[in-house]
């Protein structure tokens, strides 16, 4: 259940970052890529999650690695899919 919540949180975070960067791009004339920003921020968040699992929950790195890959890559894949399918010009 916790993994699902983290994945949904990642997708929601991407939506928020996309909205904020669209707003800032329109106001400042800048061209930021929301998916790239999201990928970097999400890597930090999911890395912290794996660190907590290893150092405080007592799991080994190899036990946490598959969960890390799913929680990191699935929201990234959804973001890229939505961007290419619906948000491309």
The pLDDT profile of the chain, 89 residues, written as one tens digit per residue, is 889 999 999 999 999 999 988 888 766 555 568 888 999 999 999 999 999 999 999 999 999 999 999 999 999 999 999 988 887 65
In a domain, residue 89? The reply is no
In a domain, residue 53? The reply is yes
**How much is the pLDDT for 29?**
54
In a domain, residue 21? The reply is yes
Q: State the total domains in the chain.
A: 1
**How much is the pLDDT for 28?**
56
Q: Of 89, 68, 85, 75, which is closest to residue 22 (Cα–Cα)?
A: 89
The domain containing residue 16 runs over which residues?
2-83
**How much is the pLDDT for 70?**
96
pTM of the model: 0.85
In a domain, residue 6? The reply is yes
CA dist 11 and 5 (Å) reads 10
**How much is the pLDDT for 87?**
72
**How much is the pLDDT for 84?**
87
Instruction: Please give the backbone phi and psi of residue 59, each rounded to the nearest 5 degrees, phi first.
Output: -85, 155
**How much is the pLDDT for 47?**
96
Kind and range of the H or E run holding 62: helix 61-82
In a domain, residue 88? The reply is no
**How much is the pLDDT for 30?**
57
């Amino acid at each position: 259940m916790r993994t699902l919540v983290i994945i949904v949180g990642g997708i929601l975070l991407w939506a928020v970052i996309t909205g904020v960067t669209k707003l800032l791009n329109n106001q400042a004339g800048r061209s930021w890529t929301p998916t790239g920003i999201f990928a970097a921020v999400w890597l930090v968040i999911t890395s912290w999650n794996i660190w907590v699992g290893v150092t405080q929950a007592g799991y080994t790195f190899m036990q946490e690695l598959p969960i890390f890959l799913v929680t990191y890559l699935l929201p990234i894949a959804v973001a890229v899919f939505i961007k290419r399918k619906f948000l491309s010009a």
